[in-house]
Amino acid sequence: MSNKEEKKVDEMSSMAGGDVAGYSLPLGDKKKKKKAGTIFREEESSQKSQYIDRNEFLQELELREIVRKLIKKTQNKILKESEERTSDELKLRSIIKQLIVEAKKDVEESPHSSTAINLLEELLKQILPNLELDYKTLTTSKEQRDSFRAHIINAVSTLLDTEDVNKDSGLDPEDLVSVNTLEEEIEEEIDIKVSDVDAPADDKFIDIDKDKTIEEPIEDTFGIKGQDETGRAMAQDAFNNMEKNIVDTYGILHDEKDEKLFKDYLVTNLKLYFDKYEKELGPVEEPTTPEYEAEKSAEEVDIEEPVTL
């Protein structure tokens, strides 16, 4: 074997032992080389792709912000419209309520077909508040309130009957001359005629005490026999306070129907209001004292103790 052949064998052995360097390609193929321009274009394309993705992301964020603002604006608009509708409804309800109140007021304040009832309504507004207060002040017993009620109704009825007599006479009550005044004038005229020069000595006697009037007990025309005196006294004061109002109001009426209606309705309303006051008053708590309560408690303890044989 020549030296040339031996060298070829060594090279082949070396390749079989894994000492072959380089890349493994089929025999006869050539390795493709990349150009520098190609690598630059790939990197540029990658960067451009990343830039496009970021830009799209920012645009999407901006779009979302716009949508969010539109939604918020729409919600605010809807809320505002709802508040306006609610406000309009409240205003409308207030207007309707006011109209109802005014309509009811007009109905309540519309005059009655009778002049007597219209005047009586105004009179009741004047006298009932004080009458109620006085009535509800009598809390010791129901007998006091019953007396108060009886005296007021009786006095009002008597007053109206008296006013009817005065109206029938055609004279003003202030112009009516009392019986006592007439008697005094008659006696004075008789005395003048009898005082004659030729009269007997007894007739010439001048009585200087004749002007002294003997005070006679005043007849009680207000009280009702058998009724509680406290109720009577309270009723007397209450009646004195409202007497003028009743006379002035009743004096306006001159129509027979109005007068009768006024009298009937006044007495009837007084009775009805007294019934109302009694119901409102309810059970009255009886006044007591500490001594009474202590004595009562002691008696209850004695009663509860068992009886021993």
Examine residue 271 and state whether it is found in any structural domain, yes or no. yes
- Do 257 and 165 share a structural domain? yes
Is it the case that residue 117 has pLDDT exceeding 90?
Answer: yes
Q: Are 238 and 151 contained in the same domain?
A: yes
Please check whether residues 96 and 239 belong to one and the same domain.
Answer: no
- In this structure, the answer to whether residues 92 and 230 fall within a common structural domain is no
Same domain, 74 and 131: no
In a domain, residue 18? The reply is no
Instruction: Name the DSSP letter for residue 203.
Output: T
Q: What is the mean pLDDT of residues 215-235?
A: 83
Q: Does the pLDDT at position 126 exceed 70?
A: yes
pLDDT at 56: 80
Q: Are 168 and 100 in a shared domain? A: no
- pLDDT tens string 173-208: 555 444 455 455 545 554 544 445 555 655 666 666
Quote the pLDDT of residue 168: 76
Same domain? 96 vs 231 = no
Last residue of a domain, one of 88, 110, 132: 110
* Residue 129, domain member (yes or no): yes
227 with 144, same domain: the answer is yes
Read off the pLDDT of each residue in 46-59 and give the average, rounded to a whole number: 67
Instruction: Report which DSSP code applies to 176.
Output: P
Does residue 135 contact residue 279 with C-beta atoms inside 8 Å?
A: no
Per-residue pLDDT tens over the stretch 236-276: 999 999 999 999 999 999 999 999 999 999 999 999 999 99
Let me know whether 240 and 121 are in one domain.
yes
198 domain-assigned? no
* Residue-averaged pLDDT of the chain: 75
Same-domain check for residues 135 and 105:
no
What is the number of domains present in the chain? 2
The range of the structural domain enclosing residue 165 comes to: 114-174+221-284
Both 102 and 226 in one domain: the answer is no
pLDDT at 285: 61
